[in-house]
Homo-oligomer: A and B are copies of this chain.
Amino acid sequence: MKTPFIFPIRVYYEDTDAGGVVYHANYLNFFERTRTEMLRDLGFEQNELRAQAGIIFAVKNMQIDYLRPAKFNDLLHVSAEILQLKRASFTFEQTIKCGDITLCTCSCRIVCINVEAFQPTAIPDFLFDAFLTKYNEH
């Protein structure tokens, strides 16, 4: 049982809004950067998956809870865990923390998409097996 994948993200001016805090849509960028880095950590580059396996990943749905605001210059730590794994989709549970304080959580379902047809397709076996390992760590 391993801890979830964690990725550090710094808050820059581009991420904030006139309310003085991170603009609510930009947390979704932080979540996606972290999913991308978790895939990279597993050995998968999404540009290669697209070129070689003809697949991309698309967000199907998302639930986000905004608990406390992140501010300019904060150093955040964003987590990603695979909590459910199906043939053509998988569900991530993610959190954004600043120090010990949880700022934002999300649950999102990601669908594997055939890039030509732009339709859902089965996750390739080599990828499914890698996800299964991560999934079984919980």
| Residues in chain A within 8 A of chain B (CB atoms) | 10, 12-14, 16-21, 23-26, 28-29, 32-33, 36, 45-47, 56, 58-66, 69, 71-73, 118
The quantity of this chain's copies bound in the complex is 4
A56–B23 CB distance below 8 A: no
Determine the distance from Cα of A29 to Cα of B65 in the docked complex, in whole angstroms: 17
A71–B14 CB distance below 8 A: no
The 3 A-B pairs at the shortest CB distance, nearest first, are namely: A25-B28, A16-B18, A47-B73
**Smallest CB–CB gap between A120 and chain B, Å?**
12
A46–B72 CB distance below 8 A: yes
**Smallest CB–CB gap between A22 and chain B, Å?**
9
A19–B66 CB distance below 8 A: no
B29–A12 CB distance below 8 A: yes
Determine the distance from Cα of A45 to Cα of B12 in the docked complex, in whole angstroms: 11
Interface residue from B14, B24, B32 paired with A59 (Cβ < 8 Å) = B24
A118–B45 CB distance below 8 A: no
Knowing A47-B71, A62-B64, A66-B58, the reply to whether A12 touches B25 (Cβ < 8 A) is no
